[in-house]
Amino acid sequence: MGRFIVRRLLHAVATLFMITIVTFGVAKATPGGPFGFDDPAVQAHLPIEQRQRYIEMYGLDKPIPVQYWNWLSSALQGDLGYSYSFKNETINHIIARTFPVTAKLGVIASAIGLTLGTLIGVTAALKRGSLFDAAATAWTVVFHTMPVFVLAVFLVIIFVVELRWFPITGWGTWKHAVLPVVTLLLGPLSSTIRFARAKVLDVLGSDYIRTAKAKGLPRTLITRRHVLKNTLIPIVTLAGPTIAGMLTGSIFVETMFNVPGMSKSFVGAAGSRDYPLIMASTVIYGSLIILMNLLVDVTYGLLDPRIRYD
Amino acid sequence: MVQKLDRREFLQAASAAAAVYALAACKPQTVEVEKEVTRVVEKVVEATPVPTSPEPITANINMALNRGDIGDAGEPGCSGAVNSYYMNYMMFAALVRLTDKLEIEPDLADTWSVSDDGTVYTFKLKPDLKWSDGSPLTAHDFEWSIKRNLDPKMWCGGQFWQLVDIKGSRAYYTGENTDPDSVAVKAIDDLTLQVETETPAGYFIQVCTLPAFMAVPKASVDKALEINQEGRPQDWWKPPLGIYSGPFMPVEWITDLRVYFEANPYYAHGKPLIDKLNIHMIQNTATVMAAYEVGELDMVDLPETEYLRVIGDEELLADMVTSKELGVQHLVWDMGVPATEDPRVRQAFACAIDKDTLMNDVLPGVGSPAYQFLAPGLIGYNPEIGQELRYDPDKARKLLSDGGFPNPADFPEMLINYGAGSTLYQTMFEAIQAMVQDALKIKVTLVPGDQTSLGVKLADMRYKQPLVWRQFWGADYPDPHNFMVVLYTCPPPQAAVWETPERVLCNPKFDELVWQAAAETDNTKRAELYRLCEQQLVVENPFVIPLYYPTRHRLIKPYLKNVVIIPQSFVMIRETTTIEK
């Protein structure tokens, strides 16, 4: 296991390195540039010295490989540089300011979505054909297919405008967090219900369950020992990218509910050619995906003794 | 010895840990960002001469900052867009300010006079002016601030145009002269400021309302420089560093989320009647409307997508306040394209757009049709100009034919760039595309896209195919000079460098008229000169096609009294604004 984790971590470093090269290359290859310098009107407004100062300050006058190397060496020392849009704020500070907010919402939404989704999915499968099963299936169809922007608007109309249970402006109390969390979790909740239900039905039809039943094992024991454990594998697979996605937030949810989170600050980075911010957001998201995938792989082995890491 | 966990124990432990973390995360969201908030008002409140009422009067308004404004929203020297202007006007005062009738009234200046030759402006400040911490504010603060805004070493550039009329400003800004005293701004004593312009400028007193003329606190800027990082000062205008001269002072500033203000007890016009002003920065229009409807916001700009719903809702309609904006939405020709070299071809295009139908039927509530570049209310606005280019498809076809294209099929594909991301513009330009195609029988292609990528995207097509750009110009100050000179003279005066004369008219006759009008102080003569400018710009050698004068709709709660609507896209919460529930 130890060797496996070390090997995977080395792979992760290589993957992350490739991600940064590709992102940097694509960002630089995209037409246009920062500060509107491609706009003749802007060019005309700034004296050449000022324009040059901007360019030098951000190292944009250097060849692209040198720019990349400068970025990489700073990043390895934990300095992600300055954003072009938030001029006097380091990206490290932007992340420190916004990531905890996004991550907290993500953790709550993932925890509730995955746990509740598993419980509902398993129960629906065990009570196949019941009213509960039908309701769970209907729920997944509705909320899996409903785009988050439609869902968020519905929630605002019902719970903010009509019922007036929750505020929509400001941030800082639990009441502000309820609707963003609910909006975030409904998608993963529906996916988890679907996965869990399908897997339980699959497991229930397998030979070893039939054998266990034939041996006369109690139903609860079969469910707990055999059904649940085997169901967890696809759920864990699903959980990796879900949690990574949740931790980096949803731009729509953050904009709709005015959450001071990371997505809101990072969106538009590509449009405004804010290279340092583009790199930072890609590295954060890439790292989280890699980390979650590693955790998923480690968890497989703990859930299923047949899985070996050598 | 390390004790090994079996799988069951691991799972139990992991579940327990997850549950604990989830519970911990479920705690009320006391967000980290709150920690950066530092209240600076304690000292001020102690010194406040006016006792605070037990129930502070609080107004909540919304203002969605553009991304480009985020970094410099509070720095008057960098402010160039409507929302950052707004933030500046809340925090700082200039020498003079505009009324809702667009008249000039004193702000921190008490009186002012102009020399006989029209070049020397002498401002007498009000006595006993104070910053929000009670320290004195003098003419020396103005001198220092204006020169700072021209300093080529200042971190942000680009707002030079606001100060371009001051004698010596160009040489200092471009680094030709490094002596700040070469800029003709001088504090004669604590109460007297003298500003000299390069030439007589009839509009200069209007220019003095702009943020670059605000006094900023040297003490705050110096403090920020002391704690700078890599040559970048901290944002000196944010609490706890900032001290202020405007009606309100920020006590909490969370980038791109909200800025909370409290009334400045030392404001020159008296402490505002509103104790607290909360500016929220909500971008999502559905959220803005929901917040207004439940009473969390007292004033919002009406999102264009909500207009039809609001006019059908009696309750909301009663709150709707409509005002004309001093600006013009228009199309600008890309000059230098062989196919559109003949002015008659450009005139044909103007005649092919049915602006009345566009504004009354396609986009009700958005604005009124424009045939002139200058907006109504400006000196030189003349409703008769441009009438010969009203919608007339027969005339349009004839003009195109006379301009060298008797067979419309020979005319190259026409491109219209309108900027991306707005359903309003998409609808508008799809209608214009249909109108032009129908009237002229030529092919018109819409090119959405922002200017960052557009230059490159269109690089291959430009100068070969006819192209018009959508452009909006809103007044920075209510004078035609602001419309004519900044955009279309060749080169524009604010241009520190002039390498690529694109999107300017470069018509010597037009330039001559504009500068003649600028130096003229008699308004009757100026009006006549601007009429001639307009004739050049819109009719004779058309460089722009005016589309409409925008209308701004806002929802304002009836209990919010005495807001000052200035037709430059501002609704000012001023000292007399209050809430009467």
Roughly how many angstroms between the first and final C-alpha of chain B, as a whole number? 73
The pLDDT of residue B457:
54
Name the average pLDDT for chain A: 85
Which span out of A160-174, A294-308, B47-61, B343-357 was modeled with the highest average pLDDT?
Answer: B343-357
* Domain B327-552 = CATH 3.40.50.300: no
Quickly list H helices, B238-377: 285-293, 307-311, 314-319, 343-351, 355-357
Which of B11, B258, B452 is opposite residue A36, by nearest beta carbon?
A: B452
Measured between alpha carbons, how far is B558 from B556 in angstroms, rounded to an integer?
A: 6
Summarize the confidence of residues B144-167 as an average pLDDT: 83
- Give B-chain residues touching A112 at CB under 8 angstroms: 22
Residue A86, pLDDT above cutoff 90 = no
Name the average pLDDT for chain B: 83
Summarize the confidence of residues A189-195 as an average pLDDT: 91
- Give A-chain residues touching B26 at CB under 8 angstroms: 108, 174
- Any chain A CB within 8 A of the CB of B284? yes
A37, A87, A265, A306: best to mutate for the B interface, most B CBs within 10 A: A87
Which of A45, A169, A174 is opposite residue B494, by nearest beta carbon?
A: A45
Say which CATH class A100-303 falls into. Answer: mainly alpha
**pLDDT class of B403 with cuts at 50, 70, 90:** very high
Nearest residue in A to B298, CA atom: A169
Cβ of B175 within 8 Å of Cβ of A49? The answer is yes
Domain residue spans of chain B: 7-47, 94-215, 327-552
The pLDDT of residue B156:
66
**pLDDT class of B40 with cuts at 50, 70, 90:** very low
Residue B573, pLDDT above cutoff 70 = yes
Q: Nearest-CA neighbor of B222 among B144, B131, B137?
A: B144
Residue A112, pLDDT above cutoff 90 = yes
Summarize the confidence of residues A195-207 as an average pLDDT: 91
pLDDT tens column, B303-317 = 888 888 999 999 999
The pLDDT of residue B535:
92
DSSP B94-151: -SEEE-TTS-EEESSEEEEEE-TTS-EEEEEEPTT-B-TTS-B--HHHHHHHHHHHH-
Residue B18, pLDDT above cutoff 50 = no
**Which helix (DSSP H) or strand (DSSP E) does residue B320 occupy?**
strand B320-324
User: Cα dist. A113→A117, A148, B15 in Å?
Assistant: 6, 15, 15
Q: Nearest-CA neighbor of B304 among B362, B226, B250, B231?
A: B362
Relative to beta strand B570-572, strand B564-566 is antiparallel
- Give A-chain residues touching B281 at CB under 8 angstroms: 258
Cβ of B32 within 8 Å of Cβ of A153? The answer is no
ipTM: 0.83
**Which helix (DSSP H) or strand (DSSP E) does residue B261 occupy?**
strand B258-263
Please work out, in degrees rounded to the nearest 5, the angle formed at the alpha carbon of residue B228 by the alpha carbons of B223 and B231. Answer: 130
The pLDDT of residue B38:
34
Nearest residue in A to B73, CA atom: A86
Higher pLDDT, B263 or A281: B263
The pLDDT of residue B5:
46
Higher pLDDT, B232 or A169: A169
**pLDDT class of B566 with cuts at 50, 70, 90:** confident
**pLDDT class of B10 with cuts at 50, 70, 90:** very low
Quote the percentage of chain B above a pLDDT of 70. 82
- Give B-chain residues touching A161 at CB under 8 angstroms: 290, 293-294
**pLDDT class of B20 with cuts at 50, 70, 90:** very low
Cβ of A43 within 8 Å of Cβ of B497? The answer is yes
Kindly report which listed range (A270-274, B170-174, B533-537) carries the lowest average pLDDT score: A270-274
Distance of CA B305 to the CA centre of its chain: 22
Give the pTM: 0.82
- Sign of the Cα torsion A219, A223, A224, A227 reads positive
The pLDDT of residue A43:
57
Measured between alpha carbons, how far is A150 from A130 in angstroms, rounded to an integer?
A: 30
The pLDDT of residue B19:
47
Higher pLDDT, B54 or A168: A168
Which of A50, A88, A305 is opposite residue B71, by nearest beta carbon?
A: A88
Angle between helices A229-248 and A91-126 (to 10 degrees): 150
Which of A31, A43, A256 is opposite residue B499, by nearest beta carbon?
A: A43
C-beta separation of A160 from A179 below 8 A: yes
Residue B499, pLDDT above cutoff 60 = no
User: Cα dist. B438→B140, B344, B369, B446 in Å?
Assistant: 62, 18, 20, 15
- Give A-chain residues touching B277 at CB under 8 angstroms: none
C-beta separation of A101 from B28 below 8 A: no
**Fold of the CATH domain B94-215:** Dipeptide-binding Protein; domain 1 (3.90.76)
Residues 6 or more apart whose Cβ sits within 8 Å of residue B288: B62, B64, B282, B297, B300, B301, B303
Nearest residue in A to B23, CA atom: A108
C-beta separation of B489 from A44 below 8 A: no
Rounded to a whole number, what is the distance in Å from the CA of A48 to chain B's nearest CA? 7
Residue B44, pLDDT above cutoff 50 = no
Cβ of B11 within 8 Å of Cβ of A303? The answer is yes
Higher pLDDT, B550 or A51: B550
Residue A139, pLDDT above cutoff 60 = yes
Residue B22, pLDDT above cutoff 90 = no
- Of chain A residues 107-166, which have a CB less than 8 A from chain B? 107-108, 111-112, 153, 156-157, 160-161, 164
Kindly report which listed range (B154-158, B454-458, B538-542) carries the lowest average pLDDT score: B454-458
Measured between alpha carbons, how far is B452 from A34 in angstroms, rounded to an integer?
A: 8
Measured between alpha carbons, how far is B289 from B295 in angstroms, rounded to an integer?
A: 10
pLDDT tens column, B537-561 = 999 989 899 999 999 999 999 999 9
Cβ of A111 within 8 Å of Cβ of B455? The answer is no
**pLDDT class of B233 with cuts at 50, 70, 90:** low
Residue B28, pLDDT above cutoff 50 = no
Which of A31, A57, A256 is opposite residue B453, by nearest beta carbon?
A: A31
Cβ of B33 within 8 Å of Cβ of A97? The answer is yes
Cβ of B502 within 8 Å of Cβ of A40? The answer is yes
